[in-house]
Structure 1
Amino acid sequence: MSKVTEVVEELANPLIQELGLELVEVDYVKEGKSWFLRVYIDKELGVDIEDCGLVSERLSEKLDEIDPIPHNYFLEVSSPGAERPLKKDKDFEKAIGKSVFIKTYEPIDGEKSFEGTLLEFDGRQLKIEVKIKTRKKVIEIPYEKVANARLAVIFS
């Protein structure tokens, strides 16, 4: 994790929690000639534009005080969206029973991508029920082999 994202997380977490929100992720990326600091927030029933605006305003004030970024950048505060990334243990715990998409660093049962229902997570291993053609199968994925994971939107 970059120093900028670490500093922003330290600044943002208390003020976000004070507002009854959760800090999901902080990204600091260069796109073209511009730098973007993206802060993703959430709460149980989802965030709205007022939540994003309030966090943006308060965080911007803190960033101006400390000035951890030496050049111009755009601050964006938003919801992680329907396909929220799963990064922390608590993210996986909250996703039990939901549809997820998981990519692994190395193949498991000959595959590196899995989409299905997260059945269990014990901190060391995930159990995901996937549908293969017309039958269902439970795949066990060691946590350390997860390259990235997110909630999956299923269209019926």
Structure 2
Amino acid sequence: MNIDSKEIARKVKELVEPIVKRMGYRLFDVEFKPERGWVLRVIIDKPGGVTIRDCEEVSKRISALLDVEDIIPFSYMLEISSPGLTRELEKPEHYEFFKGRLIKVLLREPVGGKREATGYVEEVSEGIITLREKEKGETLYIPFSAIAKGRLEPEKW
């Protein structure tokens, strides 16, 4: 059986995003991966963070819909989770999602003479992430293609 996991994730995202939004959450991502069997992971967020009860409510709402739509014609485990405090940022839309938040990026190639930067996402457009550095307040324009790894940084309160 040939499985296009990215296409399945895309279809699930299209199907569940309106429901998740109506429930008051933001859809961060949908992943479909083999992990001791197939796992469909729907990642949600909301201001103030996501609770276990939030995950349960979203699971109830979308699991019945997924059964009816039958996008995945074989057995899988549905998992609802939050992006987490130090979630890896893998796609431009992840950076857009966390606009205004503190992130850390490791770069494939230097940008502004730096191989890594920690700062606040100000803008994401046309493959460029605008980052205002935390320490010096400098603005860096980082091509998405230059980012080797990025993650959300927890801030001390």
Q: Give the TM interval when normalised to the shorter protein.
A: 0.7 to 0.9
Does residue 20 of the first structure (1) align with residue 24 of the second (2)? yes
Number of residue pairs the alignment of both structures matches = 148
Deviation at 1:126, TM superposition (A): 1.8
Distance 1:92 1:77 in 2: 21
Rounded to whole Å, the distance in 2 between the matches of 1:59 and 1:41 is 12
Change (3 A) 1:79 1:90: closer
In terms of fraction of residues, the more strand-rich structure is: 1
Among 34, 38, 41, the residue aligned to 1:38: 41
Between the two proteins, what is the percent identity of the paired residues?
Answer: 33
How far does residue 11 in structure 1 lie from its aligned partner after superposition? 1.3
Task: Give the stretch that moved more between structures: 85-94 or 55-64.
Answer: 85-94
1:14 aligned counterpart, secondary structure: helix
The normalised TM-score by structure 1 is: 0.77
Structure 2 unmatched ranges of 5 or more: none
**1:101 counterpart = 2:104:** yes
Distance change >3 Å, CA 107–CA 6, structure 1 → 2: same
Pairwise mapping of residues 45-60 of structure 1 onto structure 2 (< 5 A)?
45-60=48-63
Superposed CA RMSD:
2.8
Does residue 120 in structure 1 map to residue 122 in structure 2? yes
After superposition, the Cα gap between the structure-2 partners of 1:89 and 1:64, relative to the gap in structure 1 and judged at 3 Å, is closer
Q: Displaced runs of 4+ in structure 1, greater than 6 A?
A: none
> Which of 42, 62, 66 in structure 2 is aligned with 1:63?
66
TM-score using structure 2 length: 0.76
Q: Which runs of 5+ in 1 are unaligned?
A: none
Point out the more displaced range, 65-74 or 140-149. Answer: 140-149
